[in-house]
Structure 1
Amino acid sequence: MTARLLAILRAVSFVALALGLCGIVFEFAGYSAPEMFHSIADGAFTSPNALMKSLRWALPLVITAAGVLVCFRCGYFNVGAQGQFYLGAIGAATAVELLNGAPALVVVPVAMLAGMLAGALWAAWPGILRLRYGTDEVITTLMGNFMAGLLLVYVTSGPLKDPSGTGQVTASRPVASAYRIATSVGVSPTVIVLSLLVLVLVWLLVNRTAYGVLSSLAGRNAVMIAWQGARLSRLGLSAFLISGALAGLAGSIELLGPNGRLVSGFLPGHGFTAILIALVAGLSVAGAAIVSLFFGGLAAASLYLPVIAGLPAAAIDVINAAIALFITARSWLLPDFIKRRLPARRTQS
């Protein structure tokens, strides 16, 4: 517990450093740092309905981040959450299109299952290449993101194209209101319950099952696990499938919830933000829930930055990049005497 608390405190300190650095950069760029922080706080926490706006972005993020951390804990750096998210949305949209007219009690669960299956399959092929041929999963999953983005453009301008569209933006037909699980606000009892259910199940998986223990040990010392007779290929492929399925679930929720249709290139930073959440949370499920709310607040605050601080909404991307820089570079930012006290975490090469 103490080690976990120290990890969270370290992550919080690096996030604070990143925010401070961004404040200095924006101040030198001619913007007001105090107004920037005020707009972030106002958009994320203090404005009317701020919590609802933060939850709108946090709920799908925490589902994807939960899947990402399962793969990371097993020692595989799956950076393909964005592509798996897109495939989940495509799978759900296809199911809705094929079952159009059926009862909602049939269509909604089937669409979510289709999204999870599509996301899992999109994560499976990089996993198989990694486990069978030693292919670098960072490269293959990153390539998968671009391929999924192109596939999204294809289906929204071809098989699933909305014939009544203007042509300015390629999109699918709107999901019928009977099949929607949330309005454009993005927060509903169904979405909240699904998010909490995912968090509970993933927490139980990584903390209370033999699979969770073995996969975490594999991420630290794969050779030792192999000596114990565990099948690393089975552990690794399961991690990829779980990660992809949860990203696909988030994509199906986005389709059936706030988005209501497929749009080419929607939420382009979702998967990468989920990866950042998993890293900031120290691969902790409970930490991911808290960090997701923070990043959801940052996304909500992007609407306030141009109004209050005069900053473009893309400033949130700069802040996210600064946080990613500090989190990933913490190994050389920490003094040597502190690093010697931190538990080493090795991943399988």
Structure 2
Amino acid sequence: MSGQLGAIIRAVVFILLALAACGVIFEFAGYSAFQMFHSIVDGAFLRRNALEHALRWALPLFITATGVVISFRAGYFNIGAQGQFYVGAICAAFVAEWLRGYPGGVVIPLCFAAGMTGGALWALWPGLLRLRSGADEVITTLMGNFLAGLLLVYVTAGPLKDPSGSGQQASSRPLEAAYRISTSNGVSPTIIGIAILVGLAMWWLVNRTAFGVLSGLGGRNPTMVQWQGASTWKIGLASFLISGALAGLAGTIELMGPNGRLAGGFLPAHGFTAVLIALVAGLSITGAAIAAFFFGGLASAALYLPVMAGLPSAAIDIVNASIALFITARSRLVDTLTKAWRRPWKTS
């Protein structure tokens, strides 16, 4: 517990450093850093319905981030959550379209099953390439994101195209009201319940099962896993499948919840933000819940930046990129500072 607390404190410190760096950048660009921070805090957490708006983005981000945590803990850097998110939504949309007119009690579970299966299968092929031939999963999963993006464009402009659309943006037909699990605000007891169940299940998997122990050990020292008589191949494959299934589940929630339809290129940064959340959380499920709420607040605050601070909403992307830079560099920086601190004492 003390180790996890220390990791959270270090993450908070580096996030504050990243925000300070953003403040300096915006000041030099002619904007008010104070107004920026005030707008972010106010828009994310203090305004009326701020909690609801933050949860709208935080819940699917948390579900996807837990899958990223599982794969990263096992030592496999699945950067393809965005593509798995898209494919899960696409598979669920096809099921909803094919079964249009059937009762929601039948269609909704089938859509969730299709979405999770689609996400898992989209994670399976880079997983097999990594485990069978040693192909770099960072490259293959990243390329999978682009392929899934093109697939989304194809289905929304082709097989699932809404014939009554304006043509300004390719999209599918709206889902029937009986198949929706939330309104456009994206928060409902169903979505909250799914997120809680996923969080509890993944926490139990990581902390209370042999898979969780062996996958965490395998991420640090695969040889030790083999000495325990376990199969690194099975652990790796399971981590890819779980990660992809959870990203596909988040895509299904977006489709059947706030979006209500597929649209070309929707939420293009979702998967990458989930990776950032997993890193900020120190690959902890509990930490991922806290980090997801924080980044959900940032996404909500993007709506207020143009009005309150005169900043474009894309400023939140700069904030996220700065946090990513500082978080990914933190271990190296901590080691450097620790060595620099100890060196004078060793020479004295």
Query: What range describes the TM-score normalised by the shorter chain of this pair?
Result: over 0.9
Deviation, 1:81, is 0.1
Instruction: Find out whether 1:275 has 2:303 as its counterpart.
Output: no
| Per-residue Cα deviation, 1:255-308 (whole angstroms, up to 9, x for no partner) | 000000000000000000000000000000011001100000000000111011
| Per-residue Cα deviation, 1:190-249 (whole angstroms, up to 9, x for no partner) | 000000000000000000011111111000100111122211110000000000000000
Q: Quickly say closer, same or farther: Cα 1:284–1:339, change in 2 above 3 A.
A: farther
Q: Quickly say closer, same or farther: Cα 1:339–1:209, change in 2 above 3 A.
A: farther
Code of the residue aligned with 1:278 in structure 2: it is A
Name the CA distance, whole Å, in 2 between partners of 1:207 and 1:127. 23
Instruction: Find out whether 1:252 has 2:277 as its counterpart.
Output: no
Out of 225-234 and 33-42, give the one that drifted further: 225-234
Contact 1:67/1:246, CA 8 A, preserved across alignment: yes
* Corresponding residue SS for 2:299: helix
How do 1:105-144 residues align onto structure 2 when only pairs under 5 Å count? 105-144=105-144
* Corresponding residue SS for 1:151: helix
| Per-residue Cα deviation, 1:118-149 (whole angstroms, up to 9, x for no partner) | 00000000000000000000000000000000
Deviation, 1:335, is 4.8
Task: Name 2:346's counterpart in structure 1.
Answer: none
Task: Name 1:232's counterpart in structure 2.
Answer: 232
Name the CA distance, whole Å, in 2 between partners of 1:255 and 1:230. 38
Q: Quickly say closer, same or farther: Cα 1:34–1:154, change in 2 above 3 A.
A: same
Contact 1:66/1:285, CA 8 A, preserved across alignment: yes
Name the CA distance, whole Å, in 2 between partners of 1:190 and 1:55. 13
* Corresponding residue SS for 1:334: helix
| Per-residue Cα deviation, 1:145-164 (whole angstroms, up to 9, x for no partner) | 00000000000000000000
Name the CA distance, whole Å, in 2 between partners of 1:120 and 1:3. 32
Instruction: Find out whether 1:313 has 2:313 as its counterpart.
Output: yes
Out of 54-63 and 221-230, give the one that drifted further: 221-230
How do 1:146-225 residues align onto structure 2 when only pairs under 5 Å count? 146-225=146-225
Task: Name 2:97's counterpart in structure 1.
Answer: 97
Task: Name 2:344's counterpart in structure 1.
Answer: none
Deviation, 1:340, is 11
Deviation, 1:101, is 1.0
* Corresponding residue SS for 2:312: coil
| Per-residue Cα deviation, 1:6-28 (whole angstroms, up to 9, x for no partner) | 00000010000000000010011
Deviation, 1:337, is 6.4
Contact 1:92/1:114, CA 8 A, preserved across alignment: yes
Out of 79-88 and 97-106, give the one that drifted further: 97-106
TM-score, scaled relative to structure 1: 0.96
Code of the residue aligned with 1:2 in structure 2: it is S
Task: Name 2:265's counterpart in structure 1.
Answer: 265
Q: Quickly say closer, same or farther: Cα 1:340–1:71, change in 2 above 3 A.
A: farther
Mind listing any 5+ residue stretches in structure 2 that lack a counterpart? 342-348
Name the CA distance, whole Å, in 2 between partners of 1:135 and 1:169. 36
TM-score, scaled relative to structure 2: 0.97
Code of the residue aligned with 1:206 in structure 2: it is V
Task: Name 1:4's counterpart in structure 2.
Answer: 4
Name the CA distance, whole Å, in 2 between partners of 1:8 and 1:55. 21
How do 1:5-20 residues align onto structure 2 when only pairs under 5 Å count? 5-20=5-20
Q: Quickly say closer, same or farther: Cα 1:175–1:224, change in 2 above 3 A.
A: same
Deviation, 1:334, is 1.6
Deviation, 1:339, is 7.1
Deviation, 1:333, is 1.8
How do 1:318-333 residues align onto structure 2 when only pairs under 5 Å count? 318-333=318-333
* Corresponding residue SS for 1:82: helix
Contact 1:72/1:283, CA 8 A, preserved across alignment: yes
Name the CA distance, whole Å, in 2 between partners of 1:334 and 1:284. 20
Q: Quickly say closer, same or farther: Cα 1:339–1:65, change in 2 above 3 A.
A: farther
Name the CA distance, whole Å, in 1 between partners of 2:247 and 2:230. 27
Code of the residue aligned with 1:135 in structure 2: it is A
Structure 1 runs (4+) deviating above 4 angstroms are: none
Contact 1:331/1:339, CA 8 A, preserved across alignment: no
Q: What count of residue pairs does the alignment treat as equivalent?
A: 341
Name the CA distance, whole Å, in 1 between partners of 2:264 and 2:186. 19
Task: Name 1:303's counterpart in structure 2.
Answer: 303
| Per-residue Cα deviation, 1:75-132 (whole angstroms, up to 9, x for no partner) | 0000000000000100110110111111111101110110000000000000000000
Task: Name 1:83's counterpart in structure 2.
Answer: 83
Contact 1:127/1:236, CA 8 A, preserved across alignment: yes
Code of the residue aligned with 1:36 in structure 2: it is M
